[in-house]
Amino acid sequence: MPHELSPDTSFFAFSPDTKPALRVRQGEEVRLTTHDCFSGQLKSSTDTMEALDWSITNPATGPVYIEGAMPGDVLRIDLHEVKATGPSVMVALPKEGALGEFITQEETVILEHRGDTVVYKDRVVVQQKPMLGVIGVAPAEGVIPNSTPGIHGGNMDCTLITSHTRLYLTVGVEGALFGCGDMHAAMGDGEVVICGAETPGEVRFTPHVVEIPGLPTPFVETGDLVAVIGSAESVDAAYKLVLGMMHGFLTGVVGMTTNDAAMLMSLVGNLKFCQVVDPLVTVRFEFPKGVIGDYGYVFPR
Ligand code: CA
Ligand code: ZN
């Protein structure tokens, strides 16, 4: 029997002091349902932000206490399924997001889910690629609102965090206190207007503590690539952070020379935006898994 949790147990900040909603052992499957990032407050195009209670935005379902996860451990979350249940909602808001200077009229759009697509104003049909915007663990100390990304995870809005991805995070407190939410049925890299197709959803995952000394986190592994995710106050600071993280992984964990790592990052790596609209900007650096294999590195299972 899998463990289940609904958005009735949501939290709005990653904190060492939040009481766990569920306790699980490593290797056990967990099924969560998640609210959309507005906690379902925007149900039609006439629902505007005026009446919105901002204190219940960006809910994450959890926290889940993972037995045996200790501070400093690397926690691997195997995302078996990230499924958007819909409908989705988007908003455009004057002065908000990276396009706010162009927007004079607030607007709410409900996107219908048809099969495995979302439909924008009955005109544009977009293939769903459901992803989790907010996903993370409690930091060792302090309280980080779910709106904010960081080394604990949080609001990274990374389009790689989808079905069949493995996300590696460093545990801050005993039990990790994992949670996730802010699912997008689809979203472009950058999240420029301030949102993706914001949807409620269902998530199935299994947690494991793994032994990978020196792994920079947050770290993502998909079928064909690895990526490090970094957040900072400026794009410059964020890209320098992820370049250092990936270079450190390739030299320190995979065992490449400094110059091999640097040249291969330039030859086959890709620097990409996650989002530029949250309190910190988030970027990632992607590198092909096959090239890590060429250097003999295999991830522990
Ligand atoms: Ca988000
Ligand atoms: Zn979102």
Ligand 1 centroid–CA 251 distance in Å is 32
Burial environment of residue 44 by CB neighbours within 10 A (0 to 12, 13 to 18, 19 or more): exposed
Same domain? For 53 and 11 the reply is: yes
Of 96, 285, 283, 275, the residue nearest 187 (C-alpha)? 275
Q: What is the DSSP string of 162-198?
A: BTT-EEEEE--STT--EEEEEEESS--TB-TTS---B
Q: Is residue 250 part of a domain?
A: yes
What pLDDT does residue 71 have? 98
Ligand 2 centroid–CA 262 distance in Å is 34
Q: Where are the alpha helices (DSSP H) in 144-287?
A: 235-248, 258-268
Ligand 2 centroid–CA 184 distance in Å is 6
Residues less than 5 Å from ion ligand 1, measured at CB: 133, 155, 157, 182
Average pLDDT over all residues of the chain: 97
Calculate what percentage of the chain has a pLDDT beyond 70.
100
Show which of 164, 191, 210 is a domain's final residue: 210
Q: Looking at the CA of 190, which ligand is closest?
A: 1
Number of domains in the chain: 2
Q: Is residue 119 part of a domain?
A: yes
Question: Once rounded to an integer, what is the mean pLDDT over residues 65-82?
Answer: 98
Q: What is the pTM of this model?
A: 0.97
CB 180 within 8 A of CB 79: no
Ligand 2 centroid–CA 208 distance in Å is 26
Q: Is residue 301 part of a domain?
A: no
Please give the residue range of the domain that contains residue 104. Answer: 3-210
Same domain? For 86 and 197 the reply is: yes
CB 169 within 8 A of CB 55: no
Helix (H, G, I), strand (E, B), or coil: what is residue 261? Answer: helix
Ligand 1 centroid–CA 114 distance in Å is 23
Q: Is residue 79 part of a domain?
A: yes
**Per-residue pLDDT reduced to its tens digit, 160-211:** 999 999 999 999 999 999 999 999 999 999 999 999 999 999 999 999 999 9
What pLDDT does residue 198 have? 98
